[in-house]
Amino acid sequence: MSLLGIDVGTTGCKAVAFNKEGKILSSDYREYPLHSPQPGWAELDGNRVWNDIKACLGKVAAETKNDPITALAVSCQGEAVSPLDENGEILHNALVSFDNRTESYVPQWEERFGRKKVFEVTGQPLAALFTAQKLQWIRDNRPQVLQKAKAILGFEDLVMFRLGMPPTTDYTLAARTLLFDVRKADWCDEFLEFVGIDRAVMPVPKPSGTVVGTIPDKIADEIGLPRGVQVVTGGHDQPCQTLGAGVTEANEASYGIGTVECIAPAFEELLLNDVMLSNNICCYHHTCPGFYIALTYNLTGGSLFRWYRDNFAQDENRRARETGRDVYDILTSEAAQQPTKLLVLPHFTTTGVPHFDTHSRGAILGLTLGTTKAEVTRALLEGLTYEMRMCIDLLYKAGGRVNNLRATGGGAKSPYWLQIKADIMGLPISVPAVSEAGCLGCAILAGSATGVYASIREAARQLARIERTYEPQPENHKIYNDRFVLYKEIYPKLNDLFHRMP
β-partners of residue 169 are: 205
- 3-state secondary structure (DSSP) of residue 501: coil
Amino acid, single-letter form, for residue 330: I
Q: Omega before 354 cis (within 30°)? A: yes
Burial of 63 (0-12, 13-18, 19+ CB in 10 A): middle
> Model confidence over 351-408: pLDDT tens digits?
889 988 888 999 999 999 999 999 999 999 999 999 999 999 999 999 999 999 999 9
Q: What is the pLDDT of residues 87-96, one digit of tens each?
A: 999 999 999 9
CA dist., res. 383 & res. 484, Å (int)? 9
Task: Report the alpha-carbon distance of residue 140 to residue 166 in Å, rounded.
Answer: 28
- Cα separation, 388 vs 249, in Å, equals 21
Distance CA 155, CA 77 (A): 7
Q: What is the pLDDT of residue 63?
A: 98
Widest Cα–Cα separation across the chain: 70
Instruction: List the chain residues with pLDDT less than 70.
Output: none
Q: Which of 364, 366, 369, 371 is nearest to 345 (CA)?
A: 364
Determine contact, residues 178/191, Cβ cutoff 8 Å.
yes
Class of domain 2-240 (CATH, top level): alpha beta
Q: Sign of dihedral through CA atoms 451, 454, 457, 460?
A: negative
Q: Give the Cα separation of 157 and 175 in Å (integer).
A: 13
- pLDDT attached to residue 134: 98
153 close to 85: Cβ distance less than 8 angstroms: no
pLDDT of residue 76: 97
Q: What is the pLDDT of residue 410?
A: 87
In angstroms, the CA 306 to CA 408 distance is 18
Name the residue ranges covered by the structural domains of the chain: 2-240
Give the integer Cα–Cα distance in Å for 162 and 151. Answer: 13
pTM of the model: 0.92
Using CA atoms, how far apart are residues 380 and 386, in angstroms rounded to an integer? 10
Averaged confidence pLDDT in the chain? 96
- What burial letters (b/e) apply to 257-280, b meaning 16+ CB within 10 Å? bebbbbbbbbbeebbbbebbbbbb
